[in-house]
Structure 1
Amino acid sequence: MQVFVSSTYEDLRHERELVAKTILELGDIPVGMEMFSAADEEQWKLIKRQIDQSDYYILIVAHRYGSMAGNVSFTEREYDYAVESGVPVLGFVIEPSAEWPANDVDTVAEARVHLEHFKAKIKSRMISFWSNADSLAGKVLAALSKQKAVNPRPGWVRADDVPGPEVLAELAGLGREVAHLSEENSALKQKASLEAQFSLIDSMADDVDCQAAILMLDSGKDVPVPPPYAYGDKNGGGGSGSIGGDRERLANAGVLRYAGNNRVLRLTDEGHLFAEWLIKRGRRCDYFWTPLGEWGDPDPETRNGQWFLQTKEAAANWGKAPPTGP
């Protein structure tokens, strides 16, 4: 299936990346404004053709109306065309109470009026509300899966619309152009995709999971399940407990995998990249200890250093309950 994703761009770049990833995970093909250069009438013809060839149309709206052509934004223009063309529309509007960066909110009165009218138009149809990028991706997954079940569409290759020679020639030319652009930008796209993916994993994972991934990269060792750990920062953060057990987030994300009859955790190839990304982002804590290895030099004269050394000693004995915090 081909799914057209429409929204304003700069303020929803991260959200669009997660939605595109969700569509790809469903085995479908996302298309949208990233495929096109500056909007003009020739590009508008190509956009209309892409909407015509799409099986579903997804609209994402936050707090910007977007660039305008005449008295209507390009996003609203795409939406109106999808509705007129009979393409099933899935609308996703941000919750009014959701936190949002102030610099990504329209401040011009005219744009805000247009945006409210546009939202009212969208809400006249079935829509879903979202509060952050993760909730948006989840709602897109649920809505698109439901639409495919209750309103199946012909799919990307249409048997009822076989292209003629002229269209085939045009598509061949477009294909060569896309291949050329893809070759030029593949490295950048891969980097941007990994950045978005790793940022999402980092936001969902416990901090100790990330520290364990860094330790496994540094040491080249697997982590038995579940060894004790202690970690801390000079600024007062920290924790203790056991690695593994019910900590499934990184395993589910494909960064770690269980091995040795589920007795050890092991970094995957993607996990090596994730651990390197964490280090570059400065996510390594100041002190970290497990029986497999450790780093950091806590100062026993400071409160945080004393707490970490006590926690480390208690965790090493395993039978003692380590302190709950610095």
Structure 2
Amino acid sequence: MAEKIAVLGAGSWGSVLANLLDENGNDVRLWSNNPDQVAELNEKHTNEHYVHDFKYSESLKAYTDLTAALDGVAAILFVVPTGAIRIVAQQVKAVLQSTDNQPIIIHASKGLELNTHKRLSEVLSEEIPADSRQAVVVLSGPSHAEEVAKRDITLITAASADNAAAKFVQQLFMNDYFRIYTNNDVIGVELGAALKNIIALGAGALHGLGYGDDAKAALMTRGLAEISRLGVALGAQPLTFIGLSGVGDLIVTATSVHSRNWRAGNELGQGQSLKSVIDTMGMVIEGIPSTKAAYELAQQQGIEMPITEAIYDVLYNEADIKKVIPQLMQREGKPEIQ
């Protein structure tokens, strides 16, 4: 059955997911606060700044008017940067409270809110009260917009405390190249999504410094140990971190040139300044604020995360990236499983 869906955020991931939902037969409204981008999507059916050489469905409509985009929708998919989630959610709340509509809320963003360290489903639940919505569902896993646009095979997870809502989202997105699994571990899925971006920065930096596959494998493995340690301390299920939203997302983000976080780390490893990397990327590098949030959260929880600490020192304390690696290697010996 076709559904009316609003997708908020017309970056690479948001626009490609909107296109997929349109191809699945839904009435999709793609919202952006950039009038030029909306005009390009509606008139040329392209989004060149984010996804090169890709033609969007002609039936996909883009909006700058949030009220019009949300009119009568069954679900709202947030795909805006982490730093904008709360602000956009407040705008959505204002629209929904003027109607009797109660849509399912979905988000496909990956990060932790700075200062509060809250997961994005927590932010959405705070800002959009229960009487204005149904359940909140998290959509996450190993996925690049560029590959989904080419209809490459992709498998991800829909996580919610409400199993019926997770199944609704599963059916909404699934087709012959995009497969969704359900999961009830919202904490684990969201933390895996946010924290793997930190490890991807490190993996890119190793590549930029000229290290080989052994070093990258070591970083990813021990990075996953850190992610799991913090996640379990915060209530996540351990097995989530060996699933799609854990090791799956870590692999794709820490090994691919499609990953902004990997590319940013690679440029840092090659000697570029953090400011230069941010200025030239042209898109949000979620791993940078996530590193700060995770570092502070780990300090509060008393969780040991040496790789995250090292990357934090490079990003926020101007530590020499060439010196932090031997410092990590020369730490006191420990058991692997602890």
Q: TM-score, normalised by structure 2?
A: 0.33
Flag the structure with higher strand content: 1
Larger Rg: 1
